């Protein structure tokens, strides 16, 4: 099986519809779910402009939005559409795919049936299993493409939820700033930047009903949430250049006192970049709106960080984070 077949097989197994276009908007990949959502065959969609997948009344709006994606560095946008034949409601999330230098390569359209809030645990678990197996077979030549694709998938998944939109990018930027304030530009800079962007990729296997639950999680639900660092490592680990990134992500919920997860590491046994990620991830989570609470005031969140230095957080990096926060350089 060649790389293209592997890539197509991975995308075909997603429960969401996926359409991928080139920079001109011409569709060069569509999975079966995406074709079913639109009520036409894959053969009818392939090779056509993405605008032809929309009604004439909505094409101009979509055209403008796609132009923003291409020219204005917009991270993602979403539209709600109704299939008149079936009465089902779908959410389409459009996300750009860019090269490392920022050049626009095309777009990914993620379509999800939101008529009923169903669980996709089995499908997503199968997707995760197949993804990690197939990533192990990819050559170095195509690993950069998959890193870009994973980043775009994170953007698309966050765009579906107003509560987490932009979280991964903010965590990445703060973690990089904190690390480079101490060490300057170093080999760890790129690792922590990527780890910040992908630290929640393991939640692709977690039900939306749990992620967006308004009330307190049950013990079983919290147990599922706690698996996401391990799942992320399973997804990213087979990519040779992401092995160290995968380890950083695996340990970003460890606590300095050894009471964290998944391995209960303590103090200096926790990777340095994981200790940094733990601080900024917690800060951004506290200052972001969640389904069960409003955002915390930044000063109050900083106070929580200070109270937990030496227990939850690395005291040295925690103090540096607070210095940057109170100087207005971070947060």
Domain positions in the chain are: 1-116, 161-331
- pLDDT of the residue at 120: 47
3-state helix, strand, coil in the chain (%, to 5): 55, 15, 35
Distance CA 301, CA 170 (A): 15
- pLDDT of the residue at 156: 62
Place of tokens 């506290």: 286
- pLDDT of the residue at 166: 83
Output the six-digit token pair for 206.
Answer: 């977690």
Distance CA 316, CA 314 (A): 6
* Tens-binned pLDDT, residue by residue, of the chain (331 aa): 566 677 778 778 777 888 889 989 999 888 888 888 887 888 888 999 988 887 788 888 888 888 878 876 667 777 777 777 777 777 888 888 888 878 888 888 888 887 764 444 456 666 666 766 666 565 555 666 666 777 676 666 665 555 566 888 899 999 999 999 999 999 899 999 999 988 988 887 677 778 778 788 889 888 988 999 998 898 888 877 789 999 999 999 999 999 999 999 999 999 999 999 999 999 999 999 887 788 999 999 999 999 999 999 999 999 999 999 998 989 7
- pLDDT of the residue at 119: 42
Q: 21 forms bridges with which residues in the sheet?
A: 27, 107
- pLDDT of the residue at 284: 95
Place of tokens 């391995």: 263
- pLDDT of the residue at 17: 87
Question: How far is residue 60 from each of residues 51, 54, 66, 313, measured CA to CA in Å?
Answer: 9, 10, 10, 50
Give the Cβ contact number of residue 181 at 10 Å.
15
Question: How far is residue 27 from each of residues 9, 22, 54, 118, 152, measured CA to CA in Å?
Answer: 17, 7, 13, 29, 17
- pLDDT of the residue at 179: 96
Task: With residue 107 as reference, give the H or E element that holds it.
Answer: strand 104-113
pTM for the structure as a whole: 0.58
Place of tokens 């094409």: 59
Peptide bond into 264 cis (omega under 30): no
Output the six-digit token pair for 84.
Answer: 């008149």
The fold of the 1-116 domain, in CATH, is Beta-Lactamase (3.30.450)
Dihedral (CA of 173, 174, 176, 181) sign: positive
Output the six-digit token pair for 282.
Answer: 């917690």
Return the closest-CA partner of residue 232 out of 160, 162, 153, 307: 153
Question: Which architecture characterizes domain 161-331 according to CATH?
Answer: Orthogonal Bundle (1.10)
């Amino acid at each position: 099986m060649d790389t293209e077949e592997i890539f197509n097989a991975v995308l075909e197994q997603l429960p969401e519809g996926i359409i991928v276009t080139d920079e001109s908007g011409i569709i060069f990949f569509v999975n079966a779910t995406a074709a079913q959502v639109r009520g036409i065959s894959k053969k009818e969609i392939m090779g056509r402009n993405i605008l032809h997948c929309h009604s004439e009344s909505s094409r101009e709006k979509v055209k403008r939005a796609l132009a923003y994606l291409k020219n204005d560095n917009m991270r993602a946008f979403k539209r709600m559409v109704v299939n008149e034949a079936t009465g089902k409601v779908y959410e389409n999330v459009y996300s750009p795919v860019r090269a490392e230098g920022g050049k626009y390569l095309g777009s990914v359209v993620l379509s999800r049936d939101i008529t009923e809030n169903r669980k996709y645990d089995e499908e997503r678990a199968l997707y995760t299993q197949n993804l990690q197996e197939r990533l192990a077979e990819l050559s170095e030549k195509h690993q950069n493409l998959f890193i870009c694709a994973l980043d775009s998938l994170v953007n698309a998944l966050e765009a579906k939820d107003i509560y987490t939109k932009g979280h991964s990018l903010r965590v990445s930027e703060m973690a990089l700033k904190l690390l480079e304030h101490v060490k300057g530009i170093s080999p760890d800079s790129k690792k922590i930047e990527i780890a910040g962007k992908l630290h929640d990729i393991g939640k692709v296997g977690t039900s939306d009903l749990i992620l967006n639950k308004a009330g307190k999680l049950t013990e079983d639900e919290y147990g599922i949430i706690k698996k996401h660092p391990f799942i992320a490592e399973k997804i990213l680990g087979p990519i040779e250049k992401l092995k160290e990134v995968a380890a950083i992500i695996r340990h970003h919920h460890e606590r300095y006192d050894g009471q964290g997860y998944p391995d209960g590491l303590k103090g200096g046994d926790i990777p340095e970049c994981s200790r940094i990620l733990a601080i900024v991830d917690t800060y951004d989570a506290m200052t972001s709106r969640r389904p069960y609470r409003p955002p915390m005031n930044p000063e109050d969140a900083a106070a929580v960080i200070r109270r937990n230095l030496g227990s939850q957080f690395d005291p040295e990096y925690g103090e540096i984070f607070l210095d940057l926060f109170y100087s207005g350089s971070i947060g």
